[in-house]
Amino acid sequence: MAKVTIDGIEIEVPDGTTILNAARQIGGKIVPPAMCYYTSLKDTGGKCRVCLVKVSQGSAKDPRPMPKLVASCRTPVADGMVVQNITSPDVLEARKGVVEFLLLNHPIDCPICDQAGECDLQDLTYEHGTEVTRTEFERRTFDKIDIGDKIKLHMTRCIMCYRCVYVADQLTPERVHGVLNRGDHSEISTYIEKAVDNDFSGNMIDVCPVGALTDRTFRFKSRVWFTKPMDAHRNCSKCCGKVVLWMKGDDILRVTGRKDHYGEVREFICNECRFEHKNTADWVIGGPRHINRHSVISQNHYEKVDLQKLRKEIDRQIVFQKGKQLPETSTSHS
């Protein structure tokens, strides 16, 4: 076990835990944002650089600070490590710089983007970006391509997090897409515009932090905040069958995996569940799903406010404000 202090809050975590995961165990505002790291995909992380933190004390044994800001998603903790995230002006400054870089070529076409409302880049920009852009150059554009009959790839919006590449590598039997070219010309692509055709390819839509990979069965059907997320499941021979149905009235507009507090899917679902079952009769519907993030989705008041739950959440935050470790939340998000 290793004792680590993040922004003044101490926590004990097993050896080998990354700084990011230690921070997530504390929870709250001190958790660094992450655009490329994905817990359930091996080797992800380290690329987007938004999770940079300052290690002001390396460990109890070697108290020297680390010379550069480090990617918290890939740096393991050490006993006695002291980390600064939101308490370090350097970190906030660097993060602001990274957000600016990510937006240099992003089209910022949120008004016509299906991801808007549940977009990690949107959230990141609101929290850490600046109001103005300093670039006056034409932005990089690519043609939209269909990878398979269900997925649309719009590279123009891509921030090169590589998550979908890891999905292709780790979830599907044959790797048919990857990164072409290098530098600011690099793009995610299928090598010969070949259709991605396997049972789990749809998960790349869920892992995409922006609107670069979208569900063709849902494109332009509705803004996400006009749909109601409902937990549901079915018996599926290929996957866990646990999904979220995004409904409008009695219609199922979209099916996705269940994302946790940090926007990550823990249990991937198959394409059949995702694309083929848009009929409520196919599903056992559990109930409304709480989307616990700074998202506009919850503004839709699709779920009844449970006053008892709210009271508990407020108490939990009060304890956290006093500088203690955040107690486990009473509701499970998975």
Partner 1 sequence: MGKKLLLEHINEPGIQSFEVYRKKGGYASVEKALKTMKPDDVTEEVKRSGLRGRGGAGFPTGMKWSFIDKKSGKPRYLVCNADESEPGTFKDRYLMEHIPHILIEGMITSSYALGANTSYIYIRGEYMYVAQILERAIDEAYANGFLGDHILGTDYSLNLYVHVGAGAYICGEETALLESLEGKRGNPRLKPPFPAVAGLYSCPTVVNNVETIAAVVPIVNLGGDEYAKIGVGRSTGTKLISASGHINKPGVYEIELGLPVEEFIFSEEYCGGVWKERRLKAVVAGGSSVPILPAGLILTTAKGEPRLMTYESLADGGFVTGTMLGSGGFIVMDETTNIVQNLFTFTRFYRHESCGQCSPCREGTAWMEKILHRLLQGKGKKTDIDILVNAAKNIEGNTICPLGDAAAWPVAAAIRHFRKEFEEIAESTTEGKKLEIATH
| Residues within the interface to partner 1 (CB under 8 A) | 45-50, 52, 68-69, 71, 74, 94, 97-98, 100-102, 104-105, 134-135, 137, 159-160, 162, 178-179, 181-186
* Nearest distance, CB of residue 71 and partner 1, angstroms: 7
Q: Which is nearer to partner 1, 68 or 324 (CB)?
A: 68
Write down the least CB distance from residue 115 to partner 1, Å.
18
Of the two residues 71 and 273, which places its CB atom closer to partner 1 in the complex?
71
Give the residue with the Cβ less far from partner 1, 137 or 220: 137
Q: How far apart are CA 309 and CA 68, in angstroms?
A: 42
Q: How far is the CB of 183 from partner 1 (least distance, A)?
A: 4
Each as own residue / partner, the long-range contacts of residues 180-188 (CB below 8 Å, 24 or more positions apart, any chain) are 184/105, 184/140, 186/160, 187/142, 187/155, 187/158, 188/153, 188/155, 188/158, 188/160, 188/164, 188/212
- Least distance CB 157 / partner 1 (angstroms): 14
Tell me how far, at minimum, the Cβ of 249 lies from partner 1, in Å: 41
* Nearest of 25, 69, 76, 67 to residue 50 by alpha carbon: 69
Residue 126: exposure state from Cβ atoms within 10 A (0-12, 13-18, ≥19) = exposed
Which residue lies nearer to partner 1 by CB, 60 or 180?
180
Nearer to partner 1, 19 or 252 (CB): 19
CA distances from 151 to 183, 200, 327 (A): 25, 12, 40
Parallel, antiparallel, or unpaired: how do β-strands 2-6 and 145-146 relate? unpaired
Quote the least distance from Cβ 55 to partner 1, whole Å. 13
CB of 181 to partner 1, least distance (A): 7
User: Phi and psi dihedrals of 185, rounded to 5?
Assistant: -95, -5
Nearer to partner 1 by Cβ, of 74 and 278: the residue is 74
Q: Which amino acid is at 59?
A: S
Closest CA to 23 of 100, 85, 66: 85
Nearer to partner 1, 72 or 271 (CB): 72
CA 96 to chain CA centroid, nearest Å: 19
